[in-house]
Amino acid sequence: MIGLGTAAIGRPQYINLKPNGTNVPFQLKGFIEKGKSILTETYEGGVRYFDTAPGYGIAESILLEWISEYQPKDISVSTKWGYTYVANFNPHALVHEVKEHSLDKLNEQWEVSRQLLPYLRIYQIHSATLDSGVLENREVLERLHQLKNEYNIKIGLSTSGDNQNEIIEKALRVKVDQNDLFDSFQVTFNVFDQSLLKMSALLEQENKTLIVKEALANGRIFPNKRYGHYEDVYVVLNKLSKKYKTSIDGVALRFCLDVLHPFSVLSGASESAHLTSNLKALDFELSLEDLNELRGLAISPQFYWKERKNLPWV
Ligand SMILES: NC(=O)c1ccc[n+]([C@@H]2O[C@H](COP(=O)([O-])OP(=O)(O)OC[C@H]3O[C@@H](n4cnc5c(N)ncnc54)[C@H](OP(=O)(O)O)[C@@H]3O)[C@@H](O)[C@H]2O)c1
């Protein structure tokens, strides 16, 4: 299924390619109303899963406000802990978010995020990395285990970078009270970075929840003169969008759904037209032959993540 990632509705600047969004003055009230209206549209388009995080500016509070006004009965939500948004909507801020994977940060952010209960089903470490040591921090792992049992939620993590598989492998070995701690993995996967395919059978076998993020490669799947090296990708996506009478993003999202069969592929849309276009992925299935052609578009994860690191916050 398609879920909605709320990173772009909670903060006006986000790592992606947004050619037109840079000079519009920020206005908080309008920003919140627009966010809630996208949530309503998403729900009305059939989406029932929403992903958020305190690191996404005011996304969590927009989602909470929308839930209390709209009263959807049948949604599930995941959130994260570990990043604090610090840019205060300033487009010129040098730092947008601060990472801290400590027990204090977990407890502080949980006190806010718990308001999402009973919709909250998955609680994730935001961008777990090997160097932060979070997968070895016993007091953090035990606290997560406690939250899992007390609130009957899944514990997950999100990963980014060219060593995603290594992080997943390590997380799969983490036990608390002799039980696996991690039930859910939010991972980058798209036509460019397909490295997750090496792990997907294992994740399925271990009955883990898989959530795909950055399925549109932060906008890099769309034809763009700055990325001439992706010309072959643009040609294939364009050809398939015509064949299936759908959008380019529809093909890219459908690829993730059909190749991995995950719990969810996140749309990161914050514009109504983009959302409508993304949801076209639900109207068709790709043939085996076309899936194989798309699988042939993969590039090296090292190149992918080097380029991703240099994307601007716009
Ligand atoms: N470390 C982490 O845990 C982490 C990191 C990244 C993302 N995420 C999660 O994954 C979600 C999705 O990731 P993402 O937003 O980075 O990646 P994405 O889905 O790869 O890219 C979204 C970007 O594509 C644009 N877009 C979508 N449809 C379009 C269309 N039809 N035409 C032109 N542009 C279009 C969106 O623009 P508009 O916004 O203008 O619609 C947005 O800039 C996030 O919201 C978040 O929940 C998690």
Q: Is 97 in the pocket of ligand 1 (CB under 6 A)?
A: no
Number of domains present in the structure of the chain: 1
- CA 302 to CA 294: how far, in whole Å? 19
Res 25: pLDDT: 77
Examine residue 63 and state whether it is found in any structural domain, yes or no.
yes
Query: Model's pTM, two decimal places?
Result: 0.95
270 lines ligand 1 (CB under 6 A): yes
C-beta 5 within 6 A of ligand 1: yes
Please measure the distance between the N-terminal and C-terminal CA atoms of the chain and give it in whole angstroms.
29
pLDDT value for 313: 59
DSSP string of 21-37, one letter each residue:
-SSSPP-HHHHHHHHHH
| Distance in angstroms (rounded) separating the CA atoms of residues 186 and 212 | 6
Q: Determine the 3-state secondary structure of 242 from DSSP.
A: helix
- Strand locations in 22-90, DSSP E? 49-51, 76-81, 83-85
Q: Which of 255, 98, 110, 266 is nearest to 184 (CA)?
A: 266
Residue 88: predicted pLDDT: 87
What is the rounded CA–CA span in Å between residue 114 and residue 293?
A: 43
Asked if 9 contacts 32 with a C-beta cutoff of 8 angstroms, the reply is no
pLDDT given for residue 238 in this prediction = 98
Amino acid identity of 128?
A: A
- pLDDT score of 311: 82
Name the one residue in this structure whose structure tokens are 């792992």: 141
pLDDT, residue 123, reads 98
As a dihedral over the C-alpha atoms of residue 157, residue 265, residue 39, residue 251, rounded to 10 degrees, the angle is 150
Q: How does pLDDT run along the chain (314 residues), one tens digit per residue?
A: 999 999 999 998 665 655 555 566 788 999 999 999 999 999 999 999 999 999 999 999 999 999 999 999 899 999 999 999 998 888 788 898 999 999 999 999 999 999 999 999 999 999 999 988 999 999 999 999 999 999 999 999 999 999 999 999 999 999 999 999 999 999 999 999 999 999 999 999 999 999 999 999 999 999 999 999 999 999 999 999 999 999 999 999 999 999 999 999 999 999 999 999 999 999 999 999 999 999 999 999 999 999 998 887 55
Q: Which of 6, 16, 38 to mutate to test the pocket of ligand 1 (most atoms within 8 A of CB)?
A: 16
Residue 186 lies in a domain: yes
Q: What is the pLDDT of residue 23?
A: 63
CA of 231 from ligand 1 middle (Å) equals 21
Q: What is the CATH number of the domain that holds 185?
A: 3.20.20.100
**Ligand 1 atom closest to residue 278's alpha carbon, by position in its atom list:** 28
Is the separation of the CB atoms in 206 and 256 below 8 Å?
no
pLDDT at 310: 85
Residue 289, domain member (yes or no): yes
193 Cβ below 6 A of ligand 1: no
Centre of ligand 1 from the C-alpha of residue 267, in Å = 6
In a domain, 314, yes or no: no
Give residue 31's domain range: 2-309
